[in-house]
Structure 1
């Protein structure tokens, strides 16, 4: 599964508005934001970059005033991981990823009503809900809303749950599949609406859409804590491998 997840990440970054490929790495750049969570790189599966390749990667980030940063499954590119460490990259985080398949998916019998965004306003309000849900890690913006719409328009899926007053209480997205798998990400609920099953509902609905409607072989995600992990496991996600986040400080 590590190879599939890594190949997915490569394809996903190649879809960025301004991707660059250097010495066994794909760098996914989006000129509309400086966020390191959008602008990052990943090695090709099995890549064996040399010191000059890593130096060129660093230079590409520096010339754009961005932090050199990568996300990848280290077991799928162990020589790349070693080359990055030798160049001074440090571990920002290491996450276990969970995988759901058609055989493990468990859709809740009851829960909040999940729907797709219907307008630009819905996308903007969902972006705002996710910004609040993640505690200000990123700011809500027109560009963020446009990225959500682009996900839906290019083969992925976006889902939300509305509160009783019609506002967006929470939601999530799933990127367009590649290598037989797709990444489910951005699962977030506004603090005022937590504890109502929203995360489980949108996660299960996105997984169901990809696995049962679109025939994708698997859906994977990462979790931010044990509470969220339990939510994902209840709807059929199981631990499978590890992804590494690495960065080079100035």
Structure 2
């Protein structure tokens, strides 16, 4: 599964507004944002980068005023981590990822609300605002954020949300367009006032089901804590591997 997840990461970055390939790495950049979560690199499966390759990657980030950063499944490219460590990269995080397949997907019981697909710009803006509130400052609502959500849907991925009683968004998530046999589900967030009602489980299961209906063999995600992990496991996600986040150490 590590190779599938890593192959997805490569394909996902190649879709970025600006993508570079150099020395066994793919770097994806979004000129509308300096967020490290939108500007990072990943290695090709099996990559064996030289010191010169790593230096060229670092320079590509510095040219854009960004801190060099990578996300990858280390077991899919075991020669990469040592090369990056020698160049001064340090661990930002290690995340376990979970995988769901059609045979493990377990939709939750009906919870008295519908999971919907956004239909217009107003709904994309409402979703973007709700996710900004859900993540408590890690992301900021913006026209660019709403536009990115629409691009996910228009590019073959999926965005789903639960409407709040005031007509806005109670919670939402997205799934990037599949690459190869898998797709990444991300951005699962529920506004604080709507938590505990099953919103996260509902949108997660709906997105996974939508991908499976298109022929995708698996959907994977990372979780942020044991509470969210339990939500994902209840709808059929199972532990399958880890992803490593590295950043260049401060000089």
Q: TM-score range by the shorter chain?
A: over 0.9
Distance 1:245 1:133 in 2: 23
Question: What are the ranges of 5 or more consecutive residues in structure 1 without an aligned counterpart?
Answer: none
Runs in 1 of length 4+ with deviation above 6 angstroms? Answer: none
1:125 partnered with 2:119: no
Q: How does 1:65-104 map to 2 (within 5 A)?
A: 65-104=65-104
* 1:140 corresponds to: 141
- Asked whether the 8 Å contact 1:2–1:241 carries over to 2, the reply is yes
Distance 1:109 1:138 in 2: 31
* 1:244 corresponds to: 244
Q: Secondary structure at 2:95's aligned position in 1?
A: strand
* 2:184 corresponds to: 183
- Asked whether the 8 Å contact 1:67–1:249 carries over to 2, the reply is no
* 2:153 corresponds to: 152
Question: What are the ranges of 5 or more consecutive residues in structure 2 without an aligned counterpart?
Answer: none
- Shift in Å at residue 81 of structure 1? 1.1
* 1:54 corresponds to: 54
Q: How does 1:4-83 map to 2 (within 5 A)?
A: 4-83=4-83
Aligned residues: 249
TM-score (normalised: structure 1): 0.98
TM-score (normalised: structure 2): 0.98
Distance 1:18 1:163 in 2: 36
RMSD of aligned residue pairs (Cα, Å): 0.7
Distance 2:67 2:198 in 1: 36
- Asked whether the 8 Å contact 1:61–1:68 carries over to 2, the reply is yes
- Shift in Å at residue 249 of structure 1? 3.2
